[in-house]
Amino acid sequence: MPPEAIDQAAADDAARRRAETALASGDPTGWFEPLYAAAEAGQAVVPWYRGEPGPELAAWAAANPGQGRSALVVGCGLGDDAELLAQAGYTTSAFDVSPSAIKAVLNRFPDTRVSYRTADLLDPPAEWHHAFDVVVEILTVQSMPKSVRDAAIASVAGFLAPGGTLVVGAFAEESIDLATWSGPPWPLNRAELDSFARDGVRATTVDRVREGSRWWAQFTREA
């Protein structure tokens, strides 16, 4: 379904119900596969799908050409961010916990240069440890409950190679009335954002964008 045809409130509500069911069964990532499978069957829409990369990442990639450096997109969804990085000259890998999401990506981009695979952020492949010059994490960690968020953040930070750059985009908790907010996604607060800086990773820039509603931050691992 084209992004402009999405009933956003209905899509958000359907995703929320799937997340509640998975969380009630103790599976913090179990709602992604049913969502993407239903979307592939034409029975649901992916509420965060916009059909193009986010503007912050597009501007970042334009200012930071890849020149063959390696990049990893966390929770790639339907692939727009990963395709952008490949077009910007990065040797790009991307993953999602949902096999149906990866199938949909390969249907959208049959001639892709990106290496896509199914993987779990909470149990990532060991060979990805400190392996990527650029790591992109946008809205994935915050789609998980707080009970597993620290482990997810540790995995993301662990992908970054020495001298590399991690970019993080997320809804900012400080800009949201939590009394009326229903997730997923659940916003990140400043302390959670700062916690990407661990084990040799440090923040280089932390900004609020989109009228202060979102974080856009960059980190590096000391070489």
Which pLDDT value is given to residue 9? 58
Which pLDDT value is given to residue 17? 67
Cβ of 222: how many Cβ atoms within 10 Å? Answer: 8
Which pLDDT value is given to residue 179? 80
DSSP 141-174: GGGS-HHHHHHHHHHHHHTEEEEEEEEEEEEBGG
Token digits for 91? Answer: 């040797």
User: Containing H/E element for 132?
Assistant: strand 132-138
Which pLDDT value is given to residue 34? 87
Q: CB of 99 within 8 A of CB of 116?
A: no
Place of tokens 């809804």: 171
pLDDT tens digits, one per residue of 65-111: 999 999 999 999 999 999 999 999 999 999 999 999 999 999 999 99
pTM to 2 decimal places: 0.88
Which pLDDT value is given to residue 168? 98
Which pLDDT value is given to residue 71? 99
Token digits for 108? Answer: 């959208």
* Pairing relationship of beta strands 132-138 and 70-74 according to DSSP bridges: parallel
Which pLDDT value is given to residue 1? 45
Q: Decide: helix, strand or coil at residue 73.
A: strand
Give Cα separations from 115 to 7, 50, 112, 151, 182 (angstroms): 32, 22, 8, 24, 34
Give Cα separations from 47 to 16, 22, 145, 183 (angstroms): 10, 17, 18, 12
For the chain, list residues with pLDDT below 70.
1-26, 183
Token digits for 50? Answer: 């916009």
Q: CB of 95 within 8 A of CB of 32?
A: no
Terminal Cα-to-Cα distance of the chain (whole angstroms): 44
